[in-house]
Amino acid sequence: MLLSLFLLNPHLHTLIYNPQNYTIQLETNGVITLKNINLLNNDFLAKITTLEQEANVIQQTLGTATQVIGGLQQQIDVINDELNRQIHFRGYYLLNTDIQNLPNSANGDFAISAESGTVWMYDQNWYNSGDIVPELVTSASNATPLADSGTGVV
């Protein structure tokens, strides 16, 4: 059984009939075979090509935008890391090794160690400054300072 296919030409708005170019063959086992398909006119192919090119441009633009966003995210991460490092007082720690293992240390950071009772400073590496923790310093005298007499002398 041979069926003919009619094609509507969008420019002429008429049916074009050519059984040699547009045929469908229906076999007895139910298989449909298309033969000599020339269904697409040049205008339609040009539109498809143009749309495909536009889609490629959009894909390239999205790829570039994704790269820019990735670069900005890396810069934000660097800034956040640096902000985290700018915290100078790192806290009170039980052991000296806890201080030495602090992550993201920056020059000028300091921490207080309960183990040594001293202030630790960071300058490329953590080191014990030898300064006694201010809360542990005892005053040199038990005497109470005199109140100001109004003359500016204590």
Sequence spans of domains, the chain: 2-42, 88-136
Residues 6+ apart with CB under 8 A from 95: 113, 114, 115
Residue 112's CB: how many other CB atoms inside 10 A? Answer: 20
Amino acid in position 35 = K
With tokens 């640096």, the residue in question is 82
3-state DSSP assignment of residue 28: coil
Residue predicted with more confidence, 19 or 98? 98
CA angle, residues 80, 84, 86, in degrees to nearest 5? 115
pTM: 0.36
pLDDT (0 to 100) of residue 111: 93
Amino acid in position 138 = T
Tens-digit pLDDT profile for residues 61-74: 888 888 889 889 99
User: Would the pLDDT of 88 be above 90?
Assistant: no
